Amino acid sequence: METASEQPLAGIKVIDFTQVMLGPCCTQVLGDYGADIIKIERPGFGDLSRTAIADDPEGLNNPVFKSLNRNKRSIALDLRKEPAKKVIYDLVRSADIVVNNFRAGVMERMGFGHEKLVEINPRIISAFGSGFGQIGPLSHKGGQDTLAQALSGAMSRRAEVKSPLSIYPTALADYSAGMHLVQAILLALLQRDKTGRGQSVSVSLFESMLAMQMQEAAMLLQRKQELNWAAFPLTGTFETLDGALVLVGAFKQHPLRDICRALKLPDLSLDERFSTFSAMVLNKADLQARLRARFATGTTSYWLAQLEEQDLLCAPVLSLKEALDHDQTAANNSIVEDTQGALLGTPLSMSDDGFRIRHSPPGLGADGRAILEEAGYSDEKIASLIAEGVLAYDQNRKAA
């Protein structure tokens, strides 16, 4: 296994104020590739994801928290107390990046805005992930994944107009914005190498969800037309005798003819109702009813084999458990084992693999003493901070 010095971000220090998902998934990527992530948490409570799962047997180190916080070290500080601010300033002196996902203006009110941090360290990069942006009518609003789905138009987009509105159950906005924030940070690091100066970078859940719809937005802006890939007449999910599959009838010269061949149906493309794309759109309900009736007569594996023989794009609809147990997941080494249990690894693949789990997800405040010692604090000073209630040390240490 590679040493820490061989990791791409070795030597980069990050002060991480983030909570829940947008920020933690961003800083976890940085930590996975060698950055030293110092997680700033509230005494007694910590990151909100620590209490996301009620009555979990591991308490503040539940699986949701652990999924977002490996390769990080935790220090619990009461930032309402002035000495705690001095601790942050001391950490910033040797840091490269400060990341937060508070509401707009919160870091400034706490005394940690970019202008203040630059006075301490001109090379600092301040990275901000918000719900809707730093300015504008929604900038004051608390950011949350479901709200971004709704306000960005993503939630209103359905394969069938008659389908009820629903919340997508996976945190799309949080994850995409977190990955956009990683990109912004890496670009700022590259630019700092050229200029010697840090800068402020930001992303929002709202903008990230809009960006995810770049193709659809371009069609609406330029052609005043809705583009809905899921609503195409030869695309859909189809139930079988023992499950379901998804079919994408695209990227072929005669997809309907090939689908009919796979399903052993008469060539429906010869029917004028289905002879062109426009005709299929108008008669989609009739067309898909015929396909559904046919798929219902066989098993998923049987129909997948028939479709693949015609080189059609298709796949079984799996549960998450089935996906985690899939041979392709094993071949990709997607699951990694940590001392605290199994986690998803990294989706990135590099010939010089820089991914490594160096630290298990931390107990709340478990690394406070070590972090302060590295910053030059004496045992007496650390003891004083603990006595004053500024530093909460070694909470939930057994889980660290």
Q: What is the pLDDT along the chain (400 residues), one digit of tens a residue?
A: 345 568 999 999 999 999 999 999 999 999 999 999 999 999 999 999 999 999 999 999 999 999 999 999 999 999 999 999 999 999 999 999 999 999 999 999 999 999 999 999 999 999 999 999 999 999 989 899 999 999 999 999 999 888 999 999 999 999 999 999 999 999 999 999 999 999 999 999 999 999 999 999 999 999 999 999 999 999 999 999 999 999 999 999 999 999 999 999 999 999 999 999 999 999 999 999 999 999 999 999 999 999 999 999 999 999 999 999 999 999 999 999 989 999 999 999 998 889 999 999 999 999 999 999 999 999 999 999 999 999 997 654 433 2
- The pair of structure tokens assigned to 383 is 């003891």
The count of domains in the chain is: 2
Q: Provide the terminal-to-terminal Cα distance of the chain, rounded to the nearest Å.
A: 23
- 323 domain-assigned: no
Is 154 in the same domain as 60?
A: yes
Is 294 in the same domain as 339?
A: no
User: Is 0.95 topped by the overall pTM?
Assistant: no
- 260 domain-assigned: yes
Is 43 in the same domain as 184?
A: yes
3-state DSSP assignment of residue 352: coil
Burial of 3 (0-12, 13-18, 19+ CB in 10 A): exposed
Is 76 in the same domain as 194?
A: yes
- The residue segments making up the domain with residue 255 are 244-316
Is 142 in the same domain as 266?
A: no
Strands, E, within 299-352: which ranges? 313-316, 335-338, 341-344
Is 343 in the same domain as 300?
A: no
Radius of gyration of the chain measured on its C-alpha atoms:
26
Please check whether residue 249 is in contact with residue 284, taking contact to mean a CB–CB distance below 8 angstroms. Answer: no
Please check whether residue 15 is in contact with residue 97, taking contact to mean a CB–CB distance below 8 angstroms. Answer: yes
Task: List, by residue number, the catalytic residues.
Answer: 174
Please provide the size of the chain in residues: 400
